Amino acid sequence: RIMAIISISLGVFNLLPIPILDGGHVVLAIIESIRGKPVPAQALQISLKVGMSLLILLIIFVVYNDLSKVLAF
């Protein structure tokens, strides 16, 4: 049961529209199909850097919250 919850949570998180995740690639593919031409390489690179930065900030936030709960006792 726990493995199923973890798997579903990971799948939902992976579909978030953050450019470095699969959901971001889906959004970029939709943008390309609407525009009719590929997204410029520089714009793609910037969006991937922003997405990675968001993920790193999320990881730092989660680790901080976990450590603050453990050290609060």
Q: What is the pLDDT of residue 73?
A: 63
Q: Are 24 and 53 in contact (CB under 8 A)?
A: no
In this predicted structure, the answer to whether residue 48 has a pLDDT above a threshold of 80 is yes
Q: What percent of the chain has pLDDT over 70?
A: 99
Decide which of 33 and 21 is more confident. 33
Return the residue matching tokens 């709960």: 69
Q: What is the pLDDT of residue 20?
A: 87
Over range 14-37, report the average pLDDT. Answer: 92
Q: Are 51 and 21 in contact (CB under 8 A)?
A: yes
Over range 1-9, report the average pLDDT. Answer: 95
Q: Are 17 and 24 in contact (CB under 8 A)?
A: yes
Over range 43-72, report the average pLDDT. Answer: 93
